[in-house]
Amino acid sequence: MRDRMSEPYPTVRLRPKANARAIRHGFPWVYSNEVVLDRRTSRMEPGSLVVLEDAERQATGVATLNPGSKIAVRMLDRDPGARIDADWLQLRFRAALDHREMLYDAPFYRLVHAEADGLPGLVVDRFGDVLVVQPNAAWTERLLEPIADALMAVTGAKSLIKNASGRARGLEGLDDESLVLSGTIEGPVAVPMNGAVYMADLVSGQKTGLFFDQRENHAFAARLAQGRSVLDVFSHVGGFALAALAGGAASALSVDGSEAALGLAREGAALGGMAERFGTRKGDAFDALAALGAEGERFGLVICDPPAFAPSKQAREAGLRAYERIARLAAPLVEEGGYLCLCSCSHAVDLQAFLAASARGIGRGGRRGRLIHTGFAGPDHPQLPQLAESGYLKALFFRL
């Protein structure tokens, strides 16, 4: 592996009509129709390190090539002479760690947020002494061993898990085999956050086991929840519900389709001394919302935090209809003067489109709403200004 990292890098050239200026100004991707994929480059191993040249053969930096992916080239370093070795990796990880340690007292956060941390396709979540790595691009899979070594050296973590569940891996031609790469994992990990305790299943749970990106939105919702009853739909392991209870909510009901996730939510509620105020309901979210409405239930705060209804541009219109339907079903469950939080993690749906769909749904649900706050992912999920996809999370808070 180290020999591979030290070999001279071959060159790959942009087509004349490719936007070399965008690359020089920080855009991290080159699509397959923008790069010369001749017989030589098409035979390169996915994840190969290359020097990218513009059409005039001027080097723009060191990149990684996957000739079988729509995103054929991902930029790694603007210095054409850079070497992507153990020292380079440790410098990137150290910069990422310094930022998170400035933000958080406890080692529970997203440590590496892919392109926004200069490591395209690589996601790392930290759970104390355990790191969960999502190598979602071919180069991260190819260099997984030195990446793991550098992460362990920089953080001092004792265990490392490879999570291969990401949809992006399939687009890169990668497998879906998750495994423990280092150390041991003995059951779910207790994660303190916003005054609550969350139980994260790092091996078989959704994504990496917990959604750190909603931390700031959990905290804002907890301010609205004081003394109120709370409904948390698509709750996973209790995300908004447990934060609301820690913030003084009178009660909280979590709805999710996974009994395993709800079991972890109940365990977290018990650890936080909130079990008496916490309830769960297993079932399809749409069905549960309709049933609660038919039962005449009302809540002071309702939160709907679904999975990505529009994971691609092709799914955008269907996703917007789903977001509108969620708003239509949820709005009637909110007490007069209560609050409704609607979330989207679909990068293919921009903020304005999501807001419009949510407003239509609230209106179709027979309610009027004022937007009081718009939330995004926390600062451990930085956005790359040149890459809209890095700003995927939106949370809209309405007073009805």
Residues recognised as catalytic = 345
Neighbours of 81 (CB within 10 A): 10
Nearest to 135 by CA among 182, 98, 175: 175
Place of tokens 């709005």: 331
Angle ∠(278,280,286) on CA atoms, nearest 5: 135
What are 308's two structure tokens? 């990505």
Quick one: 179 exposed, middle or buried, by C-beta within 10 A (0-12, 13-18, 19+)?
Answer: exposed
Place of tokens 């879906």: 176
| Number of residues that this document lists for the chain | 400
- Cα of first residue to Cα of last residue in the chain, in angstroms, is 58
Q: Map residue 86 onto helix, strand or coil.
A: helix
Angle ∠(148,347,217) on CA atoms, nearest 5: 80
CB of 289 closer than 8 Å to CB of 332 = no
Neighbours of 296 (CB within 10 A): 7
Distance, in Å, from the CA atom of 179 to the CA atom of 162, rounded to the nearest integer, reads: 5
How far is C-alpha 145 from the geometric centre of its chain's CA atoms? 23
Distance, in Å, from the CA atom of 134 to the CA atom of 168, rounded to the nearest integer, reads: 10
Q: Map residue 132 onto helix, strand or coil.
A: strand
CB of 123 closer than 8 Å to CB of 113 = yes
* Phi, psi angles (nearest 5°) of residue 112: -130, 125
Question: Strand 179-182 and strand 189-193: pairing?
Answer: unpaired
